[in-house]
Chain A
Amino acid sequence: MQKHKLYYFNSCIFLIKLLPLIIGCFLLGCSEQKEAQQVLPIQNRVQVAENAININTASAVELEKLPDIGAKTAQEIIEHREKYGRFRKPEHLLFVRGISDKRFRAMRSLIKIE
């Protein structure tokens, strides 16, 4: 009985010794934590031109006026619109086959959705 008590006592002491270490870890962890912040989406920073083309209503001919867009891609855009409905954001144009990140950036300021 005596032995048992000693055993538990010792392990408690050990844990208490360990406590500062654990608390230290927590504090270290907390200090790394940054304040939650609101980040503006990159896309909002673009200035859209006045004569921008509405990709939700434009015809193939109009779409071809955009830089780098040929008849084939224009057709793809229209097919995509028919299949999945209107574009909710200009960026969703990226879903169309043939429109890469680079191509999209080139035309970003020339398109709008409404």
Chain B
Amino acid sequence: MSAANSKNSSSNFTLYPLLWLAVCFALGILATHFFVVNWKILLAVCLVFATLSAIFQTRKFALIFLSVAFVAVGGLCLSVENNSVAPNRVKRLYDANQIKSGDPIEIEGVLQGKPELAVGGFFLILKSEKAIYKDAEIKILGNVRLFAPVREEQIKQEYDQLNLNYGSRIRVACQLRREDNYLNAGFTSSKKLLDQRQIDAVAVIKSPLLVEKIADTKTFAPLAWIYERRQNLIIDFRDNFNVSTAGVLIASLLGNQHFLDKNTAEVFRNGGTFHVLVISGLHITFIGGLTLLFIRFFTNKRLSQFIIASLFLWSYSIAVGADVPVIRATIMFTVLLFSQVIYRSGTLLNAFGLCGLILLVWRPSEIFTPSFQLTFVSVGAIVAIAFPLIENLRAIGTWSPSAETPFPPNVSKRLRRFCETLYWRDEVWKIENKRNLWTAKLFKSPHLRWTEKRNLQNPVRYIFEAILVSLIVQTCLLPLLVIYFHRFSFASIFLNLWVGITIALESFAAIIAVFFAQISNVMAFPFIRLTEFFNWLMLSIPQILSANDWASVRLLHYADAMKAVYFLHFVPLLVLTIFLNQWKPFSLSSKFQVSSFKFFVRVSAVSLIVLSALIIFHPFSAPKLDGRLHIDFLDVGQGDAALITFPNGETLLVDGGGKRDFSQTYVQNEYADEPELFEPDTTKVGETVVSAFLWEKGYSQIDYILATHADADHIQGLSDVAKNFKVRAAMFGRTPVQNAEFAELFEILQKRDIPIMKISRGDILNFDAAQIEVLYPEKDDTPDAVSDNNHSIVLRVIYGRRTFLLTGDIEQQTERELLQTPEFLQADVVKAAHHGSRTSSTLGFIEATRAKLVVIPVGRESPHGHPHQEVLERWTNSGAKIVTTGERGTVSVSTDGKDLQLKTFLR
């Protein structure tokens, strides 16, 4: 009704009414999100304006009423969604602290889908129904994700006996968690990520003994069949191909990313092409397009084509797990396809608006998720900018005199020649010319003869169009890529094309190979090698490019007021889009010939370039100097990381957190001679926590990094920092190259030409007015000198009258040695050694420091039980105030040389 109404009422509205309504709807959602409005008011507003617009439907201002009504509906949908979470949803119970995160709980529920295979175990999605918590049975709702590690043969057999399947009703005893770790600025809340995946809480199943299977419930047979096939395909891919190929195929075709290996994933990330490994818009379009092409062989009825293609797509998207982004893409494709079925002349923009409306009504809060924004901006860029632009260029290029277009296009000669080179088909014109009563001689581009002779016109045109689309999409996505991924890849404009083509070839080869593998290994072998060759080919070019730093840059994002840049970026884009869609190259009295319009276009184009440069080169991002010395102790879970910002703006990062990686395994496939090393693509503290914090603070350069010693929870994160930031020098006490984590960092430092400084007891480092004394360890230049807890670097930072003591992981023995010169130990703020373990913080040491404040960097729940109770008591008895990062998040202390200020992430 609404669309019809607006069609009658205004000439401007007729082309794509649904787009405007979708925009109004989205505005309503945004407005309600930022200014909470009562849903009753919204309902009233919506009803009043809808009636008004119905009454005055022939008048022009009815449009305004209708738009207002849609804004109200948008807001209404959001508030309904927010208020409709059931009170016994797992997520609510945990958020209200009715169940404590990490407490033992027994949950009963039905498995959704088959167990999702991963390396070293599998994931289960359990639709919960009942729970037993503290001896009481409660009814609950919501999905939980469980990971069952499978490392030994016996465990595997026990799980096999349990025969966990789609629809199995099971009872699991586990410690469900729903909480945010790593409480620092810049870290994306893990609750948010879970909510986006429709998961309420997660847990690890410690042993198969904790799982009970109660029964198999009835399931929908075709669905069970689809899940079964997918599972088998994953196993087939895994058995037949090498690690990298299998990972790419399983992720891109079957939507399971657990088999991706680290190096391959890195190559994709660096090239800005990781999105091909996630099933989303691009995939669905591609697969849908292929199905459509295939079906066209059998029928040319648009309706049947539509039905079959969407049936296939929907079963595919359900098979790959029916994640929200996949469903979103499938809805979009179905709607766009449907618009072609019912009215062929309907504009794509209108269908695009309809997609937006459907998706936003389905899940209004989706508008805040990165995945929705990325999909929408990129599809919008293609539909609203790329297609009209290419359409116009084609029209200019293929112009020949006709009744509708008697005059040549009203554009500059250079543009005309360019378009003609790409689009003019001389054969077509010759045929046309014969049919006409009159003849004409047209002068077309002189380059044409050259390209036509070599049959180059088609390839050149395809490449040009593809690069144009890619460029437009990348320009539109720029702010989103910087905010969400802190990365901009210049190379991605070309790499997207390259990867898109090769991954399609690879997928075809893989499907043929797997098909033949069912029959005979000998037949499959050449195809398997071919698939692996395509995979190698796909990775080779991004690898060469990612060796250059310029090809892909890591970017920080602006804070505070400068954030407006990201919104402003869309303003010139929008203006240009509107101009583009009104551009009529054949109209003689085109608005485009008016100089004021030309001026507007030029201004927007220039401001677009300026804004892009502002985002990419971030000239105004550096934090302001305030003449104070800051130390931020980051919450990196179990581990240490402290950023020291000196009064002159220089920065020193002491340790970078991290975790030892136990996930490496060896994998044997059927066609390889020996097992291959597999390193899964896990998220790393150094990237998601430490780097994100530094970017959020506005740093793209960290002057110095320092590793107190070579334990993983101190040094591993520094590798990521060294990769992502400009670093002037790295400082170590010792250089134990035989240590795996140190070796990794060492390699990166050498690759990036970062000099290494060795520091030892007695060194004094000057940073403007501030000073650092190195208290430990003794100088030892032998290459295999140990770098363990007791050889941690101990630093005393001095600024004015204030002192800070950073102790690494030193234990009793070193504390005793340091006590020989107790006058160097006095400090206002002490970082407790070894995460508050009882191995350290001896009474004598505590007394020598005479600390006012002690900071303990420790996880919320340490696997070693840190901080130990006796240590806490010792510090409290000495009169020091204790702050732990586990409880309060980032602990920031600062001084101007006299005062001492303490700030924490959680107050």
Contacts and interface: CB of A to CB of B under 8 A. Distances in A.
Interface in A8-48: 10-11, 14-15, 18, 25-26, 28-30, 32-39, 41-43
A94 interface: yes
Interface size band for B: 35 or more
B209 interface: yes
B173 A38 contact: no
A15 B311 CA distance: 12
Nearest to A39: B213
Given A7-B301, A37-B216, A85-B135, A32 B224 contact: yes
A88 B217 CA distance: 26
Given A14-B299, A92-B104, A32 B207 contact: no
Given A11-B304, A32-B225, A101 B162 contact: no
Nearest to B165: A34
Contact of B222 (A14, A26, A35, A37): A26
Contacts of A34: 165, 216
Contacts of B301: 7, 10-11, 14
Given A34-B216, A36-B217, A97-B865, A85 B134 contact: yes
Contact of A89 (B165, B173, B216): B173
* Best-buried of B163, B210, B226, B865 by chain A (most CB within 10 Å): B210
B206 interface: yes
Contacts, number: 90
Contacts of A64: none
Nearest to B212: A41
Nearest to A36: B216
A100 B152 CA distance: 13
Contacts of B212: 41, 43
Contacts of B132: 88
A95 B215 contact: no
B225 A25 contact: yes
Interface in B281-301: 299, 301
A30 B216 CA distance: 15
A94 B206 contact: yes
Interface in B110-155: 132, 134-135, 155
A95 to B, nearest CB: 5
Nearest to A38: B215
Given A36-B216, A89-B173, A94 B221 contact: no
A100 B299 CA distance: 61
Contact of A91 (B103, B163, B173, B303): B173
B219 interface: yes
A105 B216 CA distance: 27
B896 interface: no
* Best-buried of B165, B207, B215 by chain A (most CB within 10 Å): B207
A37 B173 CA distance: 21
A39 B168 CA distance: 11
B228 interface: yes
B626 interface: no
Contacts of B186: none
Contacts of A94: 173, 206-207, 209-210
Contacts of B304: 11, 14-15
B884 to A, nearest CB: 19
Contact of B175 (A32, A85, A95): A95
Nearest to B308: A18
A5 B224 CA distance: 38
Contact of A84 (B104, B223, B307): B104
A11 B165 CA distance: 38
Interface of B: 103-104, 106, 132, 134-135, 155, 158, 161-163, 165, 173, 175, 206-210, 212-219, 221-226, 228, 299, 301, 303-304, 307-308, 865
14 contacts: A7-B301, A14-B301, A15-B304, A25-B222, A29-B221, A32-B228, A33-B224, A36-B215, A39-B161, A39-B162, A39-B163, A42-B161, A95-B104, A95-B175
